[in-house]
Structure formats: structure tokens, C-alpha cells
Amino acid sequence: MSEQTATVIDGKAFAAGLRERVGGAVTTLKSEHNLTPGLAVVLVGEDPASQVYVRNKNKQTLEAGMNSWEHRMPATASEDEVLAMVRQLNDDPAVHGILVQLPLPDQIDSEKVINTINPDKDVDGFHVINAGRLATGQDSLVPCTPVGCVLLAKDQLGSLSGLEAVVVGRSNIVGKPVAQLLLQEHCTVTICHSRTRDLGEVCRRADILIAAVGRPEMVTGDWVKPGACVIDVGINRIEGEGGKTRLVGDVDYASAAKVAGSITPVPGGVGPMTIACLLRSTVLAACAQAGVTAPDI
């Protein structure tokens, strides 16, 4: 058996460094521009995973020196009530970023809620205006996980120009925006999905392989080009030995790590990048709204 040869990409350490840089930028904005970036999060209902996520966001936002507000609404909240909350936050000048935690309860139309957020405060980058701005190469707020993927790939590889990038997954939250970002980095980009023919063969072309399908350990080592950079966005909880559950990605780490040049682990790869990128987006949104030149973070 061959051994693991891939460099393990430490997303946790990279995210910590990014949060440090965000904190430094916040200090400067406060002292030089009297500007404190602020992020408001709306959480509807009691979903346990969402509660953990929102708590972490709140903690890290405060640690970076920013203002943070949490608006909790009951699972029974009506669409009109959630829309009213979003409009109130749109009108609040201290709020530079608005994030409505997904998923929303069934009685609420998520698309309508997202598209009611002021696009300049849409730090998730999910508003249709931001999707359009990204696709046309205009300044936009960009979804956080895709930004995290590209930052990690660039940290590993330097310039991505001319590289073959293959994205497995076509969601609006990861697959499509990460493909747009890779295109901006001058990659040749292929987006694959469940109906792609010869998926393994397409993946084997990739210098950068992004797995974001939500299927546990689907991408195996024989789909990986030797030396490729493998970025695993998946977070799947599966039954492990002895009835215990464990987290795995969309990549079969053990086999892929024997072939790849570098690979993100799960957990500790892309996951920690998402909130760090959210903090970064909040700072960029605050600067744009205040007419201040954005720091290089």
C-alpha cells in the first residue's frame, strides 16, 4: 500500500490568520474612520445545527471587534414577520451585513426573504443581484464558502491562471459561485453534477478539484489526478464503527490523499473558512457603505 503523500491544507490555521487580519482592519477602521462594522444575524426556529453555527458567528464577530446582533424568531414566525425584520435591518445604518440563517421553516419563501435584503448588506452573497454581479465580473458580495475554497487553493498553488478546475456540484451556494471565482482566476472551469457522464474521467483532468455535492466520500482516489489540489466542501455525518457517528467530506480522504498534491481534511479544512470569510465580507460591506477604501484582507 502506498502512503499518504498529499500536503494537508490546514483551513483552521488559515482561518485563524484571516480573522487576525480582519481584526486588524477593524481596529484601523475604528480609529481612523470611526467606523465599527456590524453584522446582524436572523435565526428563525430552533434547528440545533443552526443554533451552533449562529453562536459561533456571534462569538467570532465580537472577537474581531465588530458589532454583532442576533435576532431570534419563533419557528412559527410568518413570512411577513421575517420580511419586516429584514426591512428594519436594511434601514439601520449601524448594520452593514445581514445574514438570514438557512434553512428557513417551510411557510417562508427563502428566495423572497434573501432578495428583500439590501444587496449591499447581503454578506452571504445570495441575493440575485450579487449572483448577477459576480457572473458579470462586477464588484459584489460573494458567498463565503466559495471565497474560502479559492483562498485556500491560491495559498497552496499561487497563481491559478491556466489551470484546469473541476467543480463537482452545481448549487447556488457553492458550485456555481466557486466556478465563477475560478473563472475570474483564469482557470478553465468544468462544472459537473449527478448526471455528468464519466464523472471520474472528468475529475481526473483537474489540477484543482472542488467537491461540493453533499454525498459522503463519493470522490475516490482514482478520480484524482496525481499532484492535484483537492478541496472538499462536504460535511456529512455518517454512521461509523460501534454505532458512533463521524464527519466525512465528499472526498474519500484515505484514497485521495495518496494521489493528491494537497487536500483539505474534514473537519478542519474548508469549514473554518466560512465564518472567517463572512467577517471579511462584513468589513468590505461596511467600507463600501461608508465610502472608505477597503483594506487588503
Closest chain position to ligand GUN (CB): 102
CB of 137 to ligand GUN, least distance (A): 23
CB of 57 to ligand GUN, least distance (A): 9
Buried residues in 34-57 as b, exposed as e (16+ CB within 10 A): ebebbbbbbbbbebeebeebbeeb
Per DSSP, 251 falls in state B
Interface with ligand GUN (CB under 6 A): 99-102, 124, 144, 274
CB of 27 to ligand GUN, least distance (A): 26
Beta carbon nearer to ligand GUN, 99 or 182: 99
Beta carbon nearer to ligand GUN, 171 or 220: 171
Residue type present at position 51? Q
Residue type present at position 226? P
CB of 205 to ligand GUN, least distance (A): 29
What is the bridge-based pairing of β-strands 7-8 and 262-263?
A: parallel
Beta carbon nearer to ligand GUN, 102 or 247: 102
Of 277, 269, 271, 275, nearest to 297 by C-alpha is 277
Q: Which H helix or E strand runs over 120?
A: none
Rounded Cα gap, residues 95 and 176, in angstroms? 28
Beta carbon nearer to ligand GUN, 211 or 228: 211
Q: Which H helix or E strand runs over 178?
A: helix 175-184
| Residues acting as catalytic residues | 57, 101, 124
Listed in order, strand segments (DSSP E) in 5-163 are 7-8, 38-44, 67-73, 97-100
